[in-house]
Chain A
Amino acid sequence: MSHPIPALLLAAALAAGSVHAQTPAPAAAGAAKTDPLAEYRRLLEEGNPAELFEARGERLWTQKRGPRSASLERCDLGQGPGVVKGAFVTLPRWFEDAGKVMDLEARLVWCMEKLQGFDGAEIAKQPFDRGEMANVVALATWVAAMSRGMRFDLPQKHPQEKLMYEVGKRAFFFRGGTHDFSCASCHGVAGQRIRMQDLPLLTTNPGDGVGFAAWPAYRVSAGQMWGMQWRLNDCFRQQRFPYPGFASDVTVALSTYMGVNAKGAMSIAPAVKR
């Protein structure tokens, strides 16, 4: 399964990226400054290792697994049992059977519990790169890939979906921790950077394939495949916050807020990132 070509390509791209990063940037802020990064991303996309996770996710979907030796082929991601295409760009959403708003990863764990007999609470405790949680990330990568090129359109009809949006908005601006950071510290103003990293504005639609429309993504610097739960988890780590529970209210609410704001943005997930 694993073949050396993507790794080599990545190493070359990484080297190219770091060379570019040393080139003096023009004084004026603007597109010119981000060219090296765009080039670096272009190189990476020629060999996106997310494809390996996609392939694994697809296999996991149809494989008979778990205490009940069942597949996930009857899992309802919001478009009806077994319908995968188009599901990603409508999540998080309300699920009547679960009685709550769920994001993709929470819904996958729910299906693994109900259909395959896994213990969802046990999975939720695992690190993102271990055991069944790593399988959730692979499944999420494949489900996202099945909606590549489609545009975000989260439902906001159910009162709980509206409520989650409002909770997410408040969570987005919530300042705390030793550094007084909130999500808005980095993502509340357009056109800003941390070091050389462009920061998307997430209070509105940041554009096709940007922000919410780019995750899950393969992180080259970490050599890891990250779903949105992991992305948010590491945001909170860097905000110096305590640890957010997997699929906790805050994480689902923030995804609802970002997903609704991204209405009309085209999904490029799974993307490749620095």
Chain B
Amino acid sequence: MTLRTSITGLAAGSLLLAGCASLPSSSELDRIAAQSIQGSFRDQGIAKVDRIKQDLAQAACSSDKAPDEATVERIQAEARATIKWPANGWYLGDFREGERIAQSGRGMTWTDASTATSANGGNCYNCHQISKQEISHGTIGPSLYNYGRNRGITGLDGPTVQPIFEYTWMKLWNPRATNACSQMPRLGHMGVLDENQIRHLMALLLDPRSPVNQP
């Protein structure tokens, strides 16, 4: 073997398959694939191999088929339990800071020096339209333009805003709380952004003065 490509799983597979034209069962293929994946990566800088030890949700959402109803319920319930609510019920920071964080796609790769939240962006514009001014936005997630305005947010507190603040906080902290296989990163839960940074993103989306909520 000249390259480090032979993994016992595949080697075993080749023996198993010798003289046999059909593939192993789907669950056996799952096992071989898992072994191949785990054996293909190594630590580099801050990106260690523990990042590919999947949790329940990552494993359950790793195919083109949705998990069963019971698993969905379990993932969402576990995710809800992870939400760390903002201290003193203080939900909104500075929308200008929020815009800066939303613009930044930096952080957490093996070429980044540190996992400190201060080094990280939210990657938001990569997938979402947010303010109308920024036309270079992705389309993987829904448009968030007029996010607060569309939900009738005209002030910074009061009973009408509270449920929307809570829902949005949940989405930013751990979107699996409402959508088990959400494509969105769990920014708060995975330590990509801290409480204050999420407050700033909240303000970007919900502060009536934010560019997001201008007509």
Binding site for B on A (CB under 8 A): 21, 24-25, 29, 99-100, 106, 109-110, 113, 120-121, 124, 159-160, 162-163, 166-167, 170-171, 173-182, 184-186, 188-189, 191-197, 199, 203, 236-238, 240-253
Judge whether B40 and A99 touch: CB under 8 Å.
no
Do A243 and B41 form a contact, CB below 8 Å, given A179-B108, A195-B137, A252-B5?
yes
The number of chain B residues touching the other chain, given as a range, is 35 or more
Question: Looking at the complex, which of B31-39, B158-166, B195-203 is the stretch in contact with chain A?
Answer: B31-39
Closest residue of B by beta carbon distance from A162: B23
In the assembled complex, the CB of A103 is this many whole angstroms from the nearest CB of chain B, namely 10
Do A109 and B3 form a contact, CB below 8 Å, given A194-B126, A243-B44?
yes
Judge whether B5 and A177 touch: CB under 8 Å.
no
Judge whether A100 and B33 touch: CB under 8 Å.
no
In the assembled complex, the CB of B47 is this many whole angstroms from the nearest CB of chain A, namely 5
CA distance A201 to B214 in the complex (A): 34
Judge whether A242 and B43 touch: CB under 8 Å.
yes
Judge whether A110 and B62 touch: CB under 8 Å.
no
Do A195 and B14 form a contact, CB below 8 Å, given A174-B62, A175-B62?
no
Do A176 and B58 form a contact, CB below 8 Å, given A163-B13, A171-B37?
yes
CA distance A242 to B57 in the complex (A): 19
In the assembled complex, the CB of B200 is this many whole angstroms from the nearest CB of chain A, namely 19
Judge whether B110 and A175 touch: CB under 8 Å.
no
B64 contacts the other chain (Cβ, under 8 Å)? yes
Residues of B within 8 A of A121 (CB): 2-4
B71 contacts the other chain (Cβ, under 8 Å)? no
B17 contacts the other chain (Cβ, under 8 Å)? yes
Judge whether A167 and B36 touch: CB under 8 Å.
yes
Cβ-neighbour of A176 out of B18, B32, B51, B108 (below 8 A): B51
Q: Which of B174-190 contact A (CB under 8 A)?
A: 183, 185-186, 190
Residues of A within 8 A of B113 (CB): none
Residues of B within 8 A of A241 (CB): 41, 47, 51-52
Do A238 and B109 form a contact, CB below 8 Å, given A29-B139, A249-B40?
yes
Do A100 and B6 form a contact, CB below 8 Å, given A176-B52, A178-B51?
yes
Most buried by B among A29, A121, A178: A178
Known: A120-B3, A160-B14. 20 other contacts (CB 8 A): A109-B2, A159-B20, A159-B22, A162-B23, A163-B23, A163-B29, A170-B34, A170-B62, A171-B33, A175-B54, A177-B52, A179-B190, A180-B57, A193-B138, A193-B140, A196-B136, A241-B47, A242-B44, A243-B47, A250-B41
Is chain B's binding surface mostly helix, strand, loop or mixed? Answer: loop
Judge whether B3 and A124 touch: CB under 8 Å.
yes
Residues of B within 8 A of A181 (CB): 185
CA distance A186 to B108 in the complex (A): 18
25 examples of A-B residue contacts, CB within 8 angstroms: A121-B2, A159-B22, A166-B23, A166-B32, A166-B33, A167-B10, A170-B33, A171-B36, A173-B63, A173-B64, A177-B52, A178-B191, A184-B64, A185-B183, A192-B138, A237-B47, A237-B110, A242-B48, A245-B42, A246-B3, A247-B5, A249-B10, A249-B40, A250-B41, A251-B40
CA distance A191 to B138 in the complex (A): 11
Judge whether B186 and A180 touch: CB under 8 Å.
yes
CA distance A55 to B17 in the complex (A): 41
B156 contacts the other chain (Cβ, under 8 Å)? no
Judge whether A182 and B62 touch: CB under 8 Å.
yes
B125 contacts the other chain (Cβ, under 8 Å)? yes
Provide the B62-94 mask, 1 if CB < 8 A to any CB of A, else 0: 111000000000000000000000000000000
Residues of A within 8 A of B52 (CB): 174, 176-177, 241-242
In the assembled complex, the CB of B138 is this many whole angstroms from the nearest CB of chain A, namely 5
Closest residue of B by beta carbon distance from A181: B185
Judge whether A159 and B17 touch: CB under 8 Å.
yes
Judge whether A179 and B33 touch: CB under 8 Å.
no
Judge whether A237 and B3 touch: CB under 8 Å.
no
Judge whether B5 and A203 touch: CB under 8 Å.
no
B119 contacts the other chain (Cβ, under 8 Å)? no
Closest residue of A by beta carbon distance from B17: A159
Residues of A within 8 A of B111 (CB): 237
Judge whether A249 and B39 touch: CB under 8 Å.
yes
Do A179 and B36 form a contact, CB below 8 Å, given A238-B109, A245-B42?
no
